[in-house]
Amino acid sequence: MRTAIELAHNGPATGVNPRVGCVILDAAGATIAEGWHRGVGTPHAEVDALSKLGEGEAAGATAVVTLEPCNHWGHTGPCSEALIEAGVARVVYAATDPGHSSSGGAARLREAGVEVIGGVLADEVEAFLGDWLTAARLGRPYITVKWASSLDGRAAADDGTSTWITGAAARQRVHEQREASDAIVVGTGTVLADDPSLTARGDAGELLRTQPTPVVVGMRAVPKDAAVFRHPNPVIFEGTHDVHDVVADLHQRGFRRVYVEGGPTLASAFIEAGLVDEYAIYLAPTLLGGSKVAIGEIGVGTISEQRLLCIHSIEQLGADLFIRAAPERQHPEQSQREGN
């Protein structure tokens, strides 16, 4: 299974489909084929592995796959049927497919007399596929909200200047996160104030191989010479302030990983709407004071309504701190904090 996980890493991190790996073993436990999914419209991992075997070679074999084999017709046929037709005797998988249309492969395999074992290294695969699995379960993209601020929570000086609060290492990490996203979302206020390109770039300023689609939310007009129009991908304009409508449209367009980068008004709207799955917070060792806070009104009127977070990691990038956090739905210290 760990080999299958390694194979899955070869697939694209963005797009509608999950990264899946598959290893096929013969009756003696020796590997006879490996495969992984290469993106929309290409063979799924199981079919990719089977394609490397001759007729009858998979009979009696064991297929080890990171995600429950699909059971539906999409761009390709159901992997469950491909495994049955190949004569595979046993299927071992890690995570259960949560898709409404694609799930059910394990049941179909059992129905055909194939031995099925699920849940092997499920925690590792759940962590690896966390963003895709969340999107599949919620029926909306996995949403990361990012901001960079001073230690006192300011995103800019009082005159509006903000270039640069954080250092080069932190800014490069942001570009890597952009590259791993399907879409990067900002408000019209950010476009008008900062004229960002919204591209993912390397250390030397070169464009990285994968670029997120730029999305601009709001009602104000954007100048025709704005940098966003020079992005490699066509910009999407969401002429609304309703973030629920924005999220629904992005999901319909096939985006599964969305990176919300600015500014404070838009970030606060996503937080208040309960649409944040992960926070990417960059803190610089500086103090700015003033009114330009990184986050504004998020619907917290009293301490009992606070938005508790679970910190997943803290990393030092140059002089800055990068904090990965997620909403804590049932924080063990919540009752104690509310009572203090």
Which residue's structure tokens are 């993209």?
A: 141
3-state secondary structure of 143: strand
Alpha-carbon span 90 to 117, nearest angstrom: 8
How far CA 12 is from CA of 2, 36, 37, 242, 311, in Å, comes to 18, 10, 8, 30, 27
Going by the DSSP 8-state scheme, the letter that residue 142 receives in this structure is E
Alpha-carbon span 157 to 165, nearest angstrom: 9
46 catalytic per annotation:
yes
Alpha-carbon span 42 to 57, nearest angstrom: 22
Say if CB 215 and CB 250 are below 8 A apart.
yes
Q: What is the CA 314 to chain-centroid distance, rounded?
A: 19
Name all contacts of 41-47 with Cβ < 8 Å and 24+ positions apart. 41/75, 41/76, 42/76, 43/76, 44/20, 44/69, 44/70, 44/76, 44/79, 45/4, 45/7, 45/8, 45/20, 45/21, 45/79, 46/22, 46/79, 46/82, 46/83, 47/76, 47/77, 47/79, 47/82
Omega within 30 of 0 (cis) for the link into 262:
no
Q: Beta-strand (E) ranges in 208-337? A: 213-217, 236-238, 257-262, 278-284, 309-317, 320-327
* Structure tokens, 267: 């970030």
Q: Which of 34, 46, 179, 261 is catalytic?
A: 46
Determine the straight-line distance between the first and last CA of the chain, rounded to whole angstroms. 47
Q: Which residues are catalytic?
A: 46
